[in-house]
Structure 1
Amino acid sequence: MRDLHRIAHREPPIATPLSFAEVLRRHRRAARLTLEQLAEASGVSARTLSDMERGRSKGPQHRTVTALADALRLAGAEREQFVGLAREGRLRDHWTRPTGLCELPRSVADFTGRTAELAWVAELIRAGDTGVGLITGSAGLGKSTLTVRAAHALRPDFPDGVFFLDLFGMSSEPLPVDEALGRLLRALGMADQQIPADVAARASMYRSVLRERRVLVVLDNAASEEQVRPLLPDGAGRALVTSRRLLAGLEGVRRLSLGPLPLMEAAELLAGILKDRGAADEGSAFWELAQLCGGLPLALRIAGNRLASRPGWSAADFAARLTDEERRLDQLSAGDLKIATAFGLSYDQLADSTRRVFRRLALVPGREFDAALSSVAGGTSIAGAWDALDELVDLGLLQDGTSGRYRFHDLVLLFARDRLRAEESEAERDAVTGTVTSWLLRMAANAGWWFGPRHGHRDDELDGLSTPEEADHWLRVNVDNWLGALRQVAGLGGHAAVLDFAMSMIHFSNRWMHAVHWADVFALGVRAAAALGDLSRQAAQLNALAGVQLVSGGDLEAALRFTAQAMELGVRSGSTEEIASAHHYAAGALRRLGRLDEAIEAQSRAAELFKADGDVDAYSHCLGSLGSCFRDAGQYARALEHYLQLWDLVNDDTSGMTPSEAEFSRPIALARIGECLGLLGRRPEAISKLTEAVSLLEQARLPIVQAGSLETLAGLLAQENRIGESRQTYARAAEVYEGVGDAEASGRCRELADAAL
């Protein structure tokens, strides 16, 4: 009836609105172009054109439409219609896309910090080149939270959608690639019957659909490169990927390694979580909690949630609970949030051999370790240790630093200890501890023997440390480990091992004289020697303790007491070496106390004894010390005479002096010669000697002597009216003094530098 009525009244038939696909096809045919020819003219792929003409892409991007209009030479009303249909198609596609599929999770309201990281993500995603950002880091660092926050902020830049997909990388069954592609295709509007069955076809369709769409895909918790690669968009699409693994094989991405929150931001996060408690007076407790949580956002979130759910608790009380390392991981749980569970997911990914290395590394005394120590602790080869360390770093269970050294995050260390207690017996733990401490002390003793006349007594069963430079480096970077091992062995009554170690450190301590731990080392050595009834070596350790007081500028009267005890023990044991050493160190204390005549007498006696005993190294020290006594007494010519004798000795290859000792003493002798020349008014010579000495002292890593020489040199330059050089040298002296913790001297030199302006 409706058609009969229209005919009777001659109404025109109702026109069906043309689709973008139909208009595109008509214009292409009118231009007598094939799909391939239009693709070549416009720069739009033939596959994309085919999808448009078949209606699979109803609303292509504006720049694509403009390129097609230019290639088809459309103008005026035709161009407006063409562009308008594409715009309408984009709007229809946006509003008809199935909702609830791959939706972005909500962003937490109290998100805190990460300003630089958010800026990095925004810059990357909005840049025109690389469109994929990979954010990695260990469990609990807030990778997902950061990425979701960034994605919400970037929503306006992606009119075609922001999609989120959890890849379940830490589960026993990560999301398969085909299922991941299926979920994303459905979210992009594909019906189930349109989605191919096999992975390759799904990946091809996914790339085709995204090629002309401005979308952001967040791929959270990735398991592997193979899982991620097919999910990365082409063309205008962008992606953010998070993973505990480094995914080192993933190409064409920019990487962001996430670290713990700085303490200030960590405390701010706690304050934000607890803002409704009115806890403004708990600021100091928040700082303590932030430190105990190691800046780990998940741990901070758990701590904050526990306090928020228990109004009767104070932050200070909870911080006191967390100070107990044995219970800290148990305390860091709130509902279904458990810090230990987060670490456990990573631990479960490890091979059995790597798990063993991981938990046994918790027995290392210091904070850092290398592959050699890891192999000893883990009971594996060096190659096996490297493999395990790589796997642990890849999963974020270890942090790798410079020069092949590794460390735990504090909370991960507690987790490793927990796994060790749960999975290995006490006897097994004790055996590993014994192996680690024994190896550390033997390695350290091996290194220490390089720096004295007894350096031939080395343990040839241990590898490495084939030069004094290697030995020096090993001792410095492993100080926390060998010092911790020494204390452990001392606590267990291992007197012989402690004493052997402490004896091996005496000569090396002269090279690293400003280190703060020597008093502990030699005090343990004194007690061990006393327990063993070894009078001679007890005297040696007492002399070493006196030397520590002299170098540190500590208790000079205590130094004299130590040398008096050492003298008595040296006489009782018949040890000429320790009697001479007692005279030498007593002279040093007497000089600093201003008792110069006594100091010169004692130092001269020490020099005679050492020379008669054939100990050239010790004799050289006495020459230098005598020079300092005469310098302090104002007898500069006699002081210079002794320093020149020392200079001749260290440069005489036939003197019998240990090469490492000569190398150590040479820059010191040169510096003292320069100082004496300056005191004698021979400034140009003094400046030349001190300039050379300063460079050598820096190479020899003798900062205390270097700082003093720089200050002396700066004063001489000022006297020569070389003001600019003087100012720079004072400033450098201030830096070196500051590096060794002498704030007073540093401030003095800075004032002198400023005064030279």
Structure 2
Amino acid sequence: MSAEPACGEAGLDPRRIAEIIVTARGGNRRGSGYRITDTTVLTAAHVVADSVELRVRCDADRPGQWSTPAAVAWADAGSDLAVLTLTPPEQAPTSLEPVRFGRIADDRHAVIDVHAAGFPLWKRRQGPHGAFRELHQADGTVAALSNLRTGTLELTVTEAGADPDPDASPWAGMSGAAVWVGDRVVGVVAEHHRAEGPGRLAAVRLDHALRRIAEGPRAELARLLGILDPESLPLAGPRAVQDGPPGLRVVGVPVAHGIELFKNRTRERDELARHLSDPTIRMVTLTGRRGIGKSALAAKVMDLLDRGEWPGDARGPLPSGLVNLSTRTTGISLQRIYFDCARLLDPGRRAHLHTVWTTIPEPGDRLAELFAAIGGRLIVMLLDNLEDLLDDDGTIADDGLALFLRYLFLARDTPRLLVTSQVPVRLDPELRRFTAQVELSEGLSSTEAAALLRELDRDGSLGIADLSDDELLNAAVRVHGVPRALELLVGAVADEAALLPSLDDVLDDFTQRHDIVAALAQDRYQRLDAPARAVLAVLAALRTPVRQSVVDEIVGGLDPGIQTGPVLNSLVRMHLVGVDRTSRTLALHPMDADLAYAQFAEQGAFGRQEVERHIASWYARQAMPPEEWRTPDDLEPQRRRFDHLVRAGDHEDAARVLNEISDWLVWHGSVLTAVAMHSAVDGHIRDERVRLTHTAAYGHARLSAGPMEQAVELFMEAARIAERLEDLGAWQSALFGLGDAHRQLGRLDAAVEPFTRAAELARRIGDRDREAHTVLSLSLNHSYRGDGESALAGADRLDELARADGDLLTAARASNARTIALLALRRWREAADAGARTARAYRDADSQEAVAYALNAQGLGLLGLGEPASAAATLEEALGEASLMQNPRAEGVCLLDLAWAYWCEERFARCVDTAERARVALGGAGAAQEAAADALAEAARSLPENPSAAADALTRAAAALDGNPEVVVPDWLSDHAARLREA
């Protein structure tokens, strides 16, 4: 499938694809369209026929998503074309490039590539916030001579992936999508004829339609579309569209400096390349001791791929993207992997993945979307120093990374991993066949090591280059050819203050040491003067490549007298600090950073604590203001500041930083990050006000991530602290969270007290919004536990608040609470009337939040009155509203109640189909009524042949219902089961 072109190119622009949501006299429906100008959308006439209300949504499920009302400016049923006008909101892109229109030749044989994008029914999905239509790009062909009599295009496309509704085409909703040939629109999708199979669509041909439309309407259509000559559209042809961004793209800096000095390792390098180019291998692990050269070898392979070549005799397509990650610099996490892979994709896919991260909480679903977006692209990802995320036995300790690897091995098209680790990664036996391991157990060969020593003294100033081959070979052997040891040997000789000026003298001190790399590094640190040790302390604590100006600023804050420039030059010359010339950044070798950090004292001017605090202060100055936060990466300065404060032991200051960003992280898809950060400071905070904010925020994070029992404990603690501090607002919020946690655990009785106290506190502090929200939650909780009278009292209180403030939304919520209470009391006539009033009230308040539930309640009231036909009509309307809400639970509830209405009308075939749809929707929402829907479908399927089996299934359905007043009453099903047994 061709990639979406970048925004602004001629051709299909993903930002301009429109989803059209139609409220019509005959029921609600959806269609597709394309934004032609700032204020016009092209679609099919039948999509908007008999419409009462229209909304157009663009940038669907992207960060810039917007929707707005629209009106029909031009429509012609004969040609099935329509143009809508709208007023775009402020965030909508404007000054759009003109759309080009064209035609295909109809006087010669040809098979032409076409594509269209829209929102078909078969792409309906279940997300955490409801059902939604996923955008589908339909690529296919058109036979130029087909369908000339009807003036339509016959599109042959990949067959629909499912047929979810026997009463509707799986392509329903695709109508109105613009049909493209190259960079021109040649038609509009109009029909799917089931008899022609699931892979054929018919589309209006613009050139034929323009010839058949009368002169006046044709001129108006041409004006709206910006067509200068409607009688002579130019021929459309294919345009070059690359599969992904042009050229190889690289995310992240190389994980090792000095790869230009890399020495051979030809066998291991070629072996790595062969495994990486093998499509059956998912992960290649390069193992070996610290300092042996794993990172350098991996960086060399990545560098060769960046240059467009596979090392050795490896064959296969070159990667379209490379990602460099290291635990010592960028960090390795599920979030980092996700967003770095997204950065390799085109703007449309990247924006979609950002939306997925912020709206879909399930990590597995996020990874599925990521791998789908990557598609067939080959991405090679380097995970360096992975041992930092492993337990001693090699088991992956990081839950997010473990999940990523599980999906990596299960998915068909995924990135390929190149991993470096001192410890082999331990995997389940069934996964090992997807992996390969290359062990780097030996240092460089003597010849390679000697050559490296000469190159490290390229100008001969150290006297090393002048040594004989035998002398260099002897030195190489004595340090076992370990590349990092060779660099440090040369650095020791280069230090003018060194006490051991010759290479042999340096070697004599270390040949008996167990870990020569660690010993050499420790000796180097002991020989440094105070300024050099200070600069090294800052680089070791930073743990990431930075520009010199950053080092200047942090070191200057600690000791203004240190001139960092000369010190850094010296450290670079001694091979203690690496330089990336391209990014102009400096960094310690990861091994050196660990060793140096361990060498420095905890206290003192350049002790670990003081250095960490100054680095944290530097990150504080880099932080973006909250109004500019868009993605988790925008909070990177705060997160790094938090980490440095924790390492400094300043847990309370770290908690203050976290308290500022926790809610944003939770609400934008990074709840596991927030949980991990809260866990790092939990139990270390003495300041009660800081602890109060932390505990409440931690509770909300656990409310999203689980376990729910821990959320209960956290909210209880937050409530106790707030009460002790007499902070009424925080107390109210904690009690509301506690009630919500109990409710989600199904402890309806336990939720009553915290909700009640939270409502009282909101009233005491005069916060009407909080009080209304809490009273509504309390009233609904009373209804669900069967206490309709207490629920009505809550509705009365909401009525009082609505009258006092004149707030339409509060009035609608009051009516909502009353409706559900009446259902709980089985006062069916009152419930039916109240449901209708509630639906009107929400619409008057311009809110769709509970229209579906209100209409569903009205339908239940009518069922209770024995009016199934009226109930079915109302419940069908409720289902349409639930679909607009894209809420799977709402859809499932409406479908289950509608299925029962069909049963009562003895429309058993419709009952089966509707109950099956309810089972799918309720299962996707994790709702308890899933089993009831399944059993109801089985009961209806058994009739009329087997009434006894139907009665048994009805009895099981009744038992599976939990007494929720918003779904059918269990007694109704039990009574019908008894009648079937008596018949």
Q: TM-score range by the shorter chain?
A: 0.3 to 0.5
- Pair member with larger Rg: 1
What TM-score do the two structures reach when normalised by structure 1? 0.41
TM-score, normalization by structure 2? 0.33
The structure whose residues are more often strand, as a share, is 2
